[in-house]
Amino acid sequence: MASASNRHSPLAPDCQLWLDKFLLHLDIERGLSGHTISNYRRQLQDIARTLQLEDWSGLTPSDIKRVLAAAKKEGKHARTIALRLSSLRTFCQYLIDQKQLFSNPVEGIQAPKQGRPLPKQISVDDMQQLLNTPQDDGINCRDMAMAELLYGCGLRLSELTTLRLSDCQADGTLRVTGKGNKQRILPLGRTAQKALAAWLKIRNQYASPYEPAVFVSKRGTQISNRQVANRLNELAQRQNLSQKVHPHKLRHSFATHVLESSGDLRAVQELLGHANLSTTQVYTHLDFQHLAKVYDSAHPRAKKK
């Protein structure tokens, strides 16, 4: 098993070669994000060092069990261990396709059970309070447009920051590029349209020439993910919200509020850009919590004496 002294040592040449090929495959052929590719790289490098591999071709189920045992011994969270196992399973399938392995040693090995945390949301009243900020200058105008799009369209943070001027359609819709470079067309609500139009009207005062991004920083270039998160939290503080606000919480709130009103899980899946319905189903638990609260407060036999 790898010691602390070689945790960051170079991988064996053959291991590194096939890892590099796999990461290039994820980038070019599957179009995964840089963040996702970095996660694969980190997990697979840790596995190779733990097993002190010379190459990947001799991987066995026993090796996989050693990887899991080592992660548990190090106190890794169940979610991290499951991610490591998932990364290795995908990599091994790639090696099979490349005829470097004859079978997938990860098949049949279960990840540790993990409790799935429910996404945090903001109440409808708090969202109204957050979005009722006066648009008294250009930067506030930009921030309100970003908040309206995150909540009004359920955008991921990266989808917001990479949004291009050409993605804003004349018919009041947005063309959004999500995970795996998959595109979807989203409707813009009335208030989101109004906020976006107000920002676009003054955007040229801030944007550098030929900058295609809709949202830019004071430097005139595409705004960063961190800047968006910081500005939203400042916005929440100015509006005296009792909780921290981050971009993904607005996406969760969008999904929860639409599901509560419509009950249409499939439509929420499409709006969020989820590849699998099972990913969207976590919001049914939030919806049930909402219904349970209504029941507890309204039903005569549920009220506490």
Residue 58, both tokens: 């001799």
Phi-psi region of 229 (alpha: psi -120 to 50; beta: other; left: phi over 0): alpha
The Cβ of residue 238 has, within 10 Å, a number of other Cβ atoms equal to 13
Write out the catalytic residue numbers: 156, 179, 248, 251, 274, 283
Task: Report how far residue 217's alpha carbon sits from residue 252's, in angstroms, rounded to the nearest whole number.
Answer: 25
What pairs with residue 168 in β-bridges? 174
Task: Report how far residue 72's alpha carbon sits from residue 60's, in angstroms, rounded to the nearest whole number.
Answer: 19
- Helix boundaries (H) for 74-187: 78-97, 124-131, 138-153, 157-161
Task: Report how far residue 121's alpha carbon sits from residue 284's, in angstroms, rounded to the nearest whole number.
Answer: 13
